[in-house]
Copies of this chain bind each other. A is one copy, B any other.
Amino acid sequence: MNKIYSKYLENAVNALSELPGIGRKSALRIALHLLAQPLDKVGHFNESIMKMRSDLKECKRCFNLAEEQYCSLCLDQTRLKSTICVVEGIRDVMAIEETGQYNGQYHVLGGVISPIEGVGPERLHIDQLVQRIHSEGIKELIMAISPTIDGETTIYYISKKLEMTDIKLSQIARGVAFGGELQYTDEVTLGRSIIARIPYAINGDS
C-alpha cells in the first residue's frame, strides 16, 4: 500500500475503503479518480448519495424501501392483497421482483435470527408481521428465507407464532439450481432434493 501523505486524501481513502468490497488499493484508485473530476461532478456524486440516504425510508407496512410512507409495491393496487412473501432484506425483494413470478405483498424482516451474531427475534420485524397477518386478513405466507441454520430457525420461530391461526405457510422450493450440474451440488442439497422429489407427469398426465 502506498504511503499517503495528505490527510485529505487519507481521510477520503479511509472512508472509501469502509465500503463493502473496496480494499485500500481500490479506494486509492477511486479517490484519485474523484480528485481528477470537475468539482460540480463530485458535488453531484455526493448529492445523489445524500439524497438517497435522506429521502429513502422504510415502508411503514412492509419495511421495503419507500420514497413516501408506503413503498411502491404496497401502493400498487393490482397486487394480490392476501399473500405475503417474507424476506430477509430489500435485495431479496428486488431479486424476487426480477423473476416476475410473484404478484403479492412483501414483508422485510431486516435479517434472520442469529444467536451467534446476537440477533434475537425482537431485532427483526416479526411482531409487525404477525400484526399484519391479523389486520390485513392474510391467507398465505411464503417464507423466502436463506436455506441456512439461522434461516430455518427464523422460519420455525415465525411458524410457532402462527400456530393458533389457519394461515397457509410455505417456503420456497430448495433443490438443484437451474443450470447447475449435479456433481457440483453439495450433498445436503442433493440429498434433500431426492427426498423432496416431484412427480413427473408422463404424457402430460399427472
Contacts and interface: CB of A to CB of B under 8 A. Distances in A.
A52 B21 contact: no
Interface residues of A, number: 55
A11 interface: yes
B9 A19 contact: no
Nearest to A7: B67
A20 B27 CA distance: 10
A138 to B, nearest CB: 23
A48 B6 contact: no
B21 A35 contact: no
Copies of the protein in its oligomer: 2
Given A15-B44, A48-B12, A48-B14, A5 B53 contact: no
26 contacts: A3-B98, A6-B65, A6-B66, A6-B67, A6-B72, A8-B48, A8-B67, A11-B51, A11-B52, A12-B48, A12-B49, A14-B48, A15-B48, A15-B49, A19-B30, A20-B30, A20-B33, A21-B30, A22-B30, A31-B49, A32-B89, A34-B49, A34-B53, A42-B50, A43-B50, A45-B49
Interface of A: 2-9, 11-12, 14-16, 18-22, 26, 28-35, 37, 39, 42-46, 48-56, 65-67, 72-73, 89-91, 94-95, 97-98
